[in-house]
Structure 1
Amino acid sequence: MGIILADKIYRGVFPVAPTIFDANGRVDLDGQRRAIDFMIDAGSDGICILANFSEQFALTDDERDIVQTTVLEHVAGRIPVIVTTTHFSSLVCAERSRAAQDAGAAMVMVMPPYHGATIRVAERNIHEFYGRVSDAIDIPIMIQDAPVSGTPLSASFLAKLAREVANVSYFKIETAQAASKLRELIELGGDAVVGPWDGEEAITLMPDLDAGATGAMTGGGYPDGIRKIVDAYFAGDAEKAADLYQQWLPLINYENRQCGLAACKALMKEGGVIGSDTIRHPLAPMHPSVRAGLLKVARRLDPLVLRWGK
């Protein structure tokens, strides 16, 4: 039976923080701190670092360590921080997770083990993988269920992990028909599913909330907008939440379908939060026309990001 060792339940809006680079593609720690301060000022209930939207796959191990240390020291307990510790190796993932806990992380987020387009492991090995990570730490584990891993995780298997692996208790569902999967996961997992969460830039936020999602892990550019929607919904005003979602959906859609992880940095640079919106090569910089379209949609909503640094 799973045992939840953390006594706090995390809910609300936990956007992913980008990793900030200077114009030469080097980690910019001063810019990183400013990005975190903006995200806190914009109403984030917590943040996630070193995720895919943080370009974690483009960082060296030393860079991961310095970003983790810098962010956790700078946040200094103001809000909870989730650290992504995904790695194919059970040993490496467990060591990363322990280091994140020791540095002050509130939770770790871990994808199932995968490599490239074809290297996968069986459910039994995935179960053992999360068990070994759980044995190394005392904080919650969030399983990120997303297509990028190429690893099907059924709701029944996720519920089994929640019941049988001590610290597995949060789930970020980013698959097709996410709401249906969340609903099934909640039904099968019961109390062992502490945090059924929405993801994928909030493109499925409203149906996911209707299905029982209690958290949203979105892009980091406009937590204030997502907070308005989620706060209204949790206050019991689903109609107000729906109205607000319709207002913010064009920006959510533009980020999700046109820009991806580059959107957050473009918004932050435009608002003076950071000096450079560089993403690491071989990722291509955003086309100027796409950037102009993003900013046009964003300005209609006047998010804090466009004013924070000016």
Structure 2
Amino acid sequence: MMATINWNGVFPAVTTKFTANDRIDFYAFKKNLNAQLSAGVDGIILGGTLGESSVLTNREKAELVRFTVEKVAGKVPVILNIAEGATSEAILQAKNAEELGASGLMLLPPMRYKSDHRETVEYFKAVANSTRLPIMIYNNPVDYKIEVTLDMFAELVECENIQAVKESTRDVSNVTRMINRFGDRFKILCGVDTLAMEELLMGAHGWVAGLVCAFPEETVAIFRLIKAGQIDEALEIYRWFLPLLELDIHPKLVQYIKLAEVATGIGTEYVRAPRLMLEGEERERILGIINQGLATRPVLPEYMSL
């Protein structure tokens, strides 16, 4: 029987916390995880861009999935990102995720090789057909150079477990194109923090968020207020949030968002090489943005019951 996920809501792409000696910091990770759950998020995504997937070993990914599944204890789905160069390795990662108790997968096109239309579709189908887990396609041509086009999605309709898309094309009108062509067949989750309110208003079902790692309550509040039709209240928070959300669309988003997590008391600054921690003018500039946000942080309306 095909599994399913409720793809509506806020899905943090959580960072992977490290210690000073470059081990996974499960204590700090658990603290952040608890903050996400307390704020009312609707799922947890592991091993994405923010999770520093490219520098994690398969063993570390397995440890993260196992730990998160245990701590979340069924409250929300746990989703593992798959970003591999070989189809066979992607299939293996899907199999491992299923065995470890993950609820679903987020799936990028092939890494490193720029596959064409036919190759991209076959890659997605091969992984989808190898697992019963629900899948969200990650469509990010800006960073990963392959666009998953509407014609590709038309061929992926036959895979029942391909249920959603992380929409990161940075073209807001793509939400409407998807809905016009496919109706409700694919759930659409905004994957770019700076476009979240716009895409949610255009009918996106969810938000794969980045700054939620440091500001979980504000992120969930915006989502729930929008869906409850309280647009003015959501807009006030969103306008305050935008300078912080812009940290999500820089190549150093990992370092920037981890610095924000430290500022809000739910993270560590350590990153894994080749990334390096921020220093000098750059660090001061990003801290200035974060501290300005903290100094003007809004009082949130009651949103948990919306």
TM normalised by structure 1 equals 0.87
User: Given the alignment of the two structures, is residue 96 of structure 1 paired with residue 93 of structure 2, yes or no?
Assistant: yes
Q: Is 1:217 equivalent to 2:208 in the alignment?
A: yes
Q: Does 1:173 align with 2:167?
A: yes
Cα distance in 1, alignment partners of residues 66 and 60 from structure 2:
10
Give the equivalent residue in structure 1 for 2:110: 113
Unaligned ranges ≥5, structure 2:
301-306
Q: Tell me which of 70, 74, 79 is aligned to 1:77.
A: 74
Q: For 1:156-171, what aligned pairs fall within 5 Å after superposition?
A: 156-161=151-156, 163-171=157-165
- Within the alignment, does 1:54 sit opposite 2:47 as a pair? no
Equivalent residue number for residue 225 of structure 2: 232
Give the equivalent residue in structure 2 for 1:138.
132
Unaligned runs of 5+ in 1: 305-310
Structure 1 residue 271, shift from structure 2 partner = 3.6
- 2:191 aligned to which of 171, 184, 199: 199
Distance 2:151 2:179 in 1: 10
Deviation track 1:76-97 (CA, whole Å, cap 9, x = no partner) reads: 2122111102212222111211
CA distance in 1, matches of 2:45, 2:160: 22
The aligned counterpart of 2:17 is 20
CA contact (8 A) 1:83 1:108 kept: yes
Aligned 8 A contact 2:82 2:106 in 1: yes
Distance 1:295 1:191 in 2: 37
Asked if the contact 1:263/1:294 (under 8 Å) is kept, the reply is no
In the alignment, which residue of structure 2 is the partner of 1:36? 33
> Runs in 1 of length 4+ with deviation above 6 angstroms?
none
Match of 2:277 among 267, 275, 285: 285
In structure 2, relative to structure 1, the CA distance for the partners of 1:107 and 1:303 (3 Å cut) is: farther
Query: Using a 3 Å threshold, how does the CA distance of structure 1 residues 292 and 100 change in structure 2: closer, same or farther?
Result: same
CA distance in 2 between counterparts of 1:187 and 1:281 reads: 43
1:30 shift after superposition = 1.9
* Deviation, structure 1 residue 166: 2.4
Moved more, 221-230 or 259-268: 259-268
Structure 2 match to 1:154: 149
Asked if residue 294 in structure 1 is aligned to residue 289 in structure 2, the reply is yes
Q: Which moved more, 1:235-244 or 1:131-140?
A: 235-244
Worse overlay, 141-150 or 238-247: 238-247
| Partner of residue 266, structure 1 | 259
Structure 1's 303 and 172: CA in aligned 2 closer, same or farther, altered over 3 A?
A: farther
Which residue identity does 2:21 align to in structure 1?
A: N
Of 242, 247, 251, 1:249 maps to 242
Alignment partners' CA distance in 2, 1:243 and 1:155:
34
CA RMSD between the two structures: 2.1
State the distance in 1 between where 2:237 and 2:288 align. 21
C-alpha deviation, 1:176, in angstroms: 2.9
**Structure 1 residues 22-60: Cα deviation after superposition (integer angstroms, max 9, x where no partner):** 112221122222221122123222111110110010111
**Aligned match of 1:308:** none
Q: 1:155 to 1:60 in 2, by over 3 A?
A: same
The one-letter code matched in structure 2 to 1:286 is L
- The one-letter code matched in structure 2 to 1:121 is S
Question: Could you say which residue in structure 2 is the equivalent of 1:189?
Answer: 182
- Percent of aligned pairs sharing the same letter: 25
